[in-house]
Amino acid sequence: MIYLDNNATTATDKRVLGKMLPYFCEIYSNPSSVYKFAQSARKAVEDARASLAKLLNCEAEELIFTSGGTESNNTAIKGVAFAHQNRGKHIITSKIEHHAVLHVCEYMQELGFEVTYLDVDKYGLVDIEQLKKSLKKETILTSIMLANNEIGTLQPIKEIVKICHGNNTYVHTDAVQAVGRISVDVKDLGVDFLSLSAHKFYGPKGVGALFSRKGIKFQPLLLGGGHEKGRRSSTENVPGIVGLGEAAALALESMEEDEKRIRPLRDRLESGILKTIPEAFSNGHPSQRLYNTSNICIRYIEGEGILINLDFEGICASSGSACTSGSLDPSHVLLALGLPHDVAHGSLRFSLGKDTTALQVDKVIEVLPSIVQRLRSMSPFWQQK
Amino acid sequence: MTESYTDKVFEYFRNPRNMGELENPDGVGKVGNAKCGDVMWVYIKVKDSVITDCTFKTFGCVAAIATSSALTELVKGKTLDDALKVTNKDVANELGGLPPIKMHCSLLAEQGLKSAIEDYRKRLATNKD
Tell which of A308, A374, A377, A385 to mutate to test the B interface (max B CBs under 10 Å).
A308
Q: How far is B18 from B10, CA to CA, in rounded Å?
A: 16
Kindly report, residue by residue over A40-68, the tens digit of the pLDDT.
Answer: 999 999 999 999 999 999 999 999 999 99
Is A321 part of the contact surface with chain B (CB cutoff 8 Å)? yes
**Residue B100 Cα, gap to closest chain A Cα (Å):** 10
Q: How far is CA A310 from CA A89, A263, A282, B30, in A?
A: 47, 22, 18, 29
Q: B65 to chain A: which residues are within 8 Å by CB?
A: 305, 378
Kindly report, residue by residue over B20-70, the tens digit of the pLDDT.
Answer: 999 999 999 999 988 878 999 999 999 999 999 999 999 999 999 999 999
Contact between residue B106 and residue B94 where contact means Cβ atoms under 8 Å apart:
no
Range of A373's domain? 2-6+255-384
Q: For A341, which residue in chain B has the nearest alpha carbon?
A: B35
Kindly report, residue by residue over B78-106, the tens digit of the pLDDT.
Answer: 999 999 999 999 999 999 999 988 998 99
Tell which of A279, A299, A301, A304 to mutate to test the B interface (max B CBs under 10 Å).
A304
**Residue B78 Cα, gap to closest chain A Cα (Å):** 24
Q: How far is B4 from A245, CA to CA, in rounded Å?
A: 37
State mean pLDDT over A353-381: 97
CA angle A108, A112, A115 (to 5 degrees): 55
Last residue of a domain, one of A199, A223, A251: A251
- Is A364 found in the same domain as A234? no
- Is A271 found in the same domain as A172? no
User: What is the dihedral angle through the alpha carbons of A317, A319, A322, A326, rounded to the nearest 10 degrees?
Assistant: 30
Is A312 part of the contact surface with chain B (CB cutoff 8 Å)? yes
For the cut 70, the answer to whether the pLDDT of residue A126 exceeds it is yes
Q: Is A272 helix (H, G, I), strand (E, B) or coil?
A: helix
Q: How many cross-chain Cβ pairs, A to B, lie less than 8 Å apart?
A: 66
Percentage of chain A surpassing pLDDT 90? 96
CB contact under 8 A, B60 and A326: no
- Is A143 found in the same domain as A77? yes
User: Minimal CA–CA distance to A74: which of A53, A109, A99?
Assistant: A99
- Is A263 found in the same domain as A233? no
Q: Is B33 helix (H, G, I), strand (E, B) or coil?
A: strand
State mean pLDDT over A15-27: 98
CATH number at residue A287: 3.90.1150.10
- Is A332 found in the same domain as A265? yes
The per-residue pLDDT for A383 is 74
Is B21 part of the contact surface with chain A (CB cutoff 8 Å)? yes
Which residues of B are tagged catalytic? Answer: 36, 105
- Is A288 found in the same domain as A231? no
**Res. B2 pLDDT band, cuts 50 70 90:** low
Last residue of a domain, one of A215, A234, A251: A251
Within 10 angstroms of residue A216's Cβ, the number of other Cβ atoms is 14
**Residue A274 Cα, gap to closest chain B Cα (Å):** 21
Q: How far is A10 from A244, CA to CA, in rounded Å?
A: 13
Strands annotated E in chain A: 2-3, 63-66, 90-94, 114-118, 139-143, 170-174, 193-197, 208-212, 280-283, 293-298, 315-316, 347-351
User: Minimal CA–CA distance to A1: which of A299, A353, A382, A373?
Assistant: A353
Is A373 part of the contact surface with chain B (CB cutoff 8 Å)? no
Kindly report, residue by residue over A265-323, the tens digit of the pLDDT.
Answer: 999 999 999 999 999 999 999 999 999 999 999 999 999 999 999 999 999 999 987 66
Task: Tell me the β-bridge partners of A66.
Answer: A208
Tally of domains in chain A: 2
State mean pLDDT over A205-231: 97
Contact between residue A173 and residue A193 where contact means Cβ atoms under 8 Å apart:
yes
User: Minimal CA–CA distance to B112: which of B69, B81, B78?
Assistant: B69
Is B35 part of the contact surface with chain A (CB cutoff 8 Å)? yes
Last residue of a domain, one of A222, A251, A280: A251
State mean pLDDT over A230-257: 98
State the alpha helices, DSSP H only, in chain B: 7-14, 62-75, 80-84, 88-94, 103-128
- Is A285 found in the same domain as A239? no
- Is A180 found in the same domain as A58? yes
Within 10 angstroms of residue A226's Cβ, the number of other Cβ atoms is 12
- Is A126 found in the same domain as A182? yes
- Is A220 found in the same domain as A124? yes
**Residue A120 Cα, gap to closest chain B Cα (Å):** 21
Domains defined along chain B, listed by start: 7-121 (3.90.1010.10)
